[in-house]
Every structure is written in C-alpha cells, then in structure tokens.
Structure 1
Amino acid sequence: MQSKSFSTRTLDANALKSFAHPLRLRIYELLDEHGPSTATKLAALVGQNTGATSYHLRELAKHGMIEVAPEMGRGKEKYWRIVLGGFTYGDTPPDAEAASALEFLLDDLVRQRGAELARWRDASAGAPEEWVRASGFGRRSLRLTAEETGEMRDAVFELLERYRALSDRREREAAAGSPDAATGHVVVHFDVLPLGAAGGAGEDGEET
C-alpha cells in the first residue's frame, strides 16, 4: 500500500543526497528547534567557521529545506529559517547513491528520536506543570491487516496535519511581528512498525 504524502514536498534524489550530511542535518535541527539564525551564530553552535556554515546553508536552501527570513537582520546580516509545510523522503530512491543517502537519513532519524526522548525524560522534572501534563509517552502493540494499518497511519497523519497547519500559521504570524508567547516547541514522534511482517510471524496483540 502506497503511503499518502502529508507534506508540502517530497525530497527528490538530489535533495536526499545533499541532505544526508551530518553538519547539514545538525544545522537543520538547530533551525527547527531554535528558530531563525545566522551563519555566524550557527557556526559557533556547530564548531565550524562561518564560511563553511554559509556553504551548507546555501546547499539546504538550494533544495528547498530552508529559506532567508527577509524581515530579519540588518545590512548584510542574513537570517535563515526552515521552510514551513514539512517534507517527506518519498518512496524507493531511483539509484544506489540516493538509496544510501536515504539509509543514512533514516538512521539519523532513529538517533534524533532517541535523543529527544532521553532529553525530555531528563528535562521533564523541571518543566512547567502545564507542559508536563500536556506531554505523553505511548506505545501500542496491535494485530491489524495491512489495509487497517495503512488506514490508521493515514488517520493519525491527517490529525497531525491539522496541527501542523496551525503551527505554520503561527510561525507566519511570528515572522510578521505577532509572536504567541504561550506556544512552545513541541515534537511528536509517530511510527508504524509492522515488525512481524518481515519474518512472517506476528506479535501478540497486547496493548501496553
């Protein structure tokens, strides 16, 4: 069953190859977490010189991952921000190099999710009570058909898309000078893993 795309764009082979770079992934991660920034500020965070950081920023921009925030900065100072709408890695890459890049990106996605979960586990003890109440950890082990699994995946992504659109609207309002101080950077992890399918043996339908 082919996945629906709930993002505004799908990365093509060239974008996959360009994005599969440790420093570019880290720069994108920092812009996503902290908001618009300059090459100079990012260079200090990633331990690189400004020239190198500027080059990687331009590469990300060339493939539509980030863009200049024209309303920010003075003179030659240039702020960069992620492009709203999200992206997807798409289906099977057309060549071996792109397939290798996709494997690298998926491995980094696993790393990032583990790091974010561990970070919240450490930070939650000192977080404001309303944010702790709003957070949650969840896992379900289900017995479903492939069709039901795809339907569930799409239903969850449709809900996430609704809130992504709300978030994007607020990002645009903040860029126009009307930030909402009550909002925070919220990360949602959602995976559908048919673990039994590869080996031909399913798991017990236990809910945890």
Structure 2
Amino acid sequence: MRRKSFSARTLDANAMKSFAHPLRLRLYDLLDEHGPSTATRLAGLVGQNTGATSYHLRELARHGMIEIAEGMGRGKEKYWRVTPGGFSYGEPSEADPEAAGAVEYLLDDLVRQRGEELSRWREESPTAPEEWVAASVFGRRSLRLTVAETARMRDEVFAVLERYRAVSDGRPPEAPEDLGRVIVHFDVLPVGAGRPAPDDDD
C-alpha cells in the first residue's frame, strides 16, 4: 500500500539511492539550515575539496532536491539552495533491494536528525529570546483512534503545515526582523500495530 505524499515531489528509487549518502545528506542539511551557499563554502564546512563537493551538489540537483539560486553570485560563481516545496520518499519496488536499503538508511537518518534537533532546542531554549520560547512547544498525545480517524487527523494537520510551507516558500527578500528557521516534527505512530496478535492460550 502506497503512503500518501504531502510534498511537491516524491523521490523515485534512483533519487533515494542517490540521497542515501552521508555527505549529500549533510550538504542538504547545511543548505536547509543556513540558506543558499557555494560549493567552496560548503566544502570548508564539511572538510572536503571543492571538486568533490561540487559533484555531490550536482547529484542532488540532478534529482531536483536542490537548485541554483538565481540572481546570486558573480561571474561563474554558483549559489545552491534547497528546492522549495519539500519532498517525500517513494515506495521502493520489492524487486529493488538497493532502493529498499536506501529508504531504511534515510528513515534512520530522519530519526537521528529529529533527536538531535530536539536535544539542540533543549540546550538552546534557556538562552533563546523569550518570544521564541513562548511560541515553541514540546507536544505529545496518546489517542485511541480508528484507522479512518487517524488518516483524517493526519491529513488535517498536514493541510495546516502545507499552508505555512507556502508562506515560507513565498517569502519575499525583505524578510521580517523576527524571521527564524522553525522545525516542526509531526509523526503519527500506531504503536503495536506491527506486533503479532497475542496467543489466547498463554
């Protein structure tokens, strides 16, 4: 059963296999966090030479994950940025174990990244501006829902996230003074749904 996509692009098997690379994930994260940058600057941040960094950036661009930031740079200098609209992972074919392995790698990295982001905010929040602390939240709910109710809730929450992503992607160059990079974690986890049914005889 295919998962529903809530992003502008769904990565195909080749894109997922290409993205499941530690350096490419790091470059993408740096562009996402810091905004447009050049291969030279990124090379310094990741400890690689510019040639290698440029190659990996072109691979990300080949699959539509990043793009050239038009209007930035001088001469042949290129600035890269994350492609607006976001992306989701496709469903790999059972006949393509390499793609299935790439998805596992990417999902494990996503879990790692979320843990790091939560820990980072826990460390930063005591010294963060008061208005940002007031606007933030740590949230968790445990609900008893049917499959249909769960899917409906998921869709409603994603509709709100998509509305604000459109605001973010359409932001004009003259950004508000209080503009910040805001991370939203949203997971729907039917815990225990994958376990075998208990044996009534036990």
Shorter-normalised TM range: over 0.9
Alpha carbons 1:24, 1:56 under 8 Å: kept: yes
Gaps of 5+ in 2: 198-202
Instruction: Give the ranges of 4+ consecutive aligned residues of structure 1 lying more than 4 Å apart after TM superposition.
Output: none
Q: How does 1:1-208 map to 2 (within 5 A)?
A: 2-93=2-93, 95-170=96-171, 173-174=172-173, 178-199=174-195
Q: Please state how far the C-alpha of 1:159 moved relative to its aligned partner.
A: 0.7
Relative to its length, the structure with more helix (as a share) is 1
Taking structure 1 as the reference length, what is the TM-score of the superposition?
A: 0.91
Deviation (angstroms), 1:18: 0.3
Shift of 1:85: 0.3
8 Å contact from structure 2 (residues 7, 88) kept in 1: yes
Superposed displacement of residue 26, structure 1: 0.4
Between the aligned partners of 2:194 and 2:117, the Cα distance in structure 1 is: 28
One-letter code aligned to 1:126: T
Q: How many residues align?
A: 197
Aligned-residue offset at 1:90: 2.4
180-189 or 30-39: bigger deviation = 180-189
Is contact 2:92-2:99 (8 Å) kept? Answer: no
SS at match of 2:59: helix
> Structure 2 CA distance, aligned partners of 1:26 and 1:200?
37
Distance in structure 2 (CA, Å) of the matches to 1:182 and 1:133: 13
C-alpha distance in 2, partners of 1:93/1:117?
33
1:83-115 per-position Cα deviation (integer Å, ceiling 9, x unaligned): 000001023445111000000000000000000
Separation (CA, whole Å) in 1 of partners of 2:99 and 2:2: 19
Q: Which amino acid aligns with 2:47?
A: G
Residue 200 (structure 1) shift: 5.0
Distance 2:93 2:153 in 1: 25
TM-score for both structures, normalised by structure 2: 0.93
Amino acid at match of 2:182: V
- Identical aligned pairs, as a percentage? 72
Q: Report if the CA contact (8 A) 2:9-2:87 is conserved.
A: yes
Question: How far is the alpha carbon of 1:4 from its aligned partner?
Answer: 2.9
**One-letter identity of the residue aligned with 1:125:** P
Match of 1:205 in 2: none
**Superposed displacement of residue 78, structure 1:** 0.8
Deviation at 1:76, TM superposition (A): 1.7
Secondary structure of the residue that 2:67 maps to in structure 1? strand
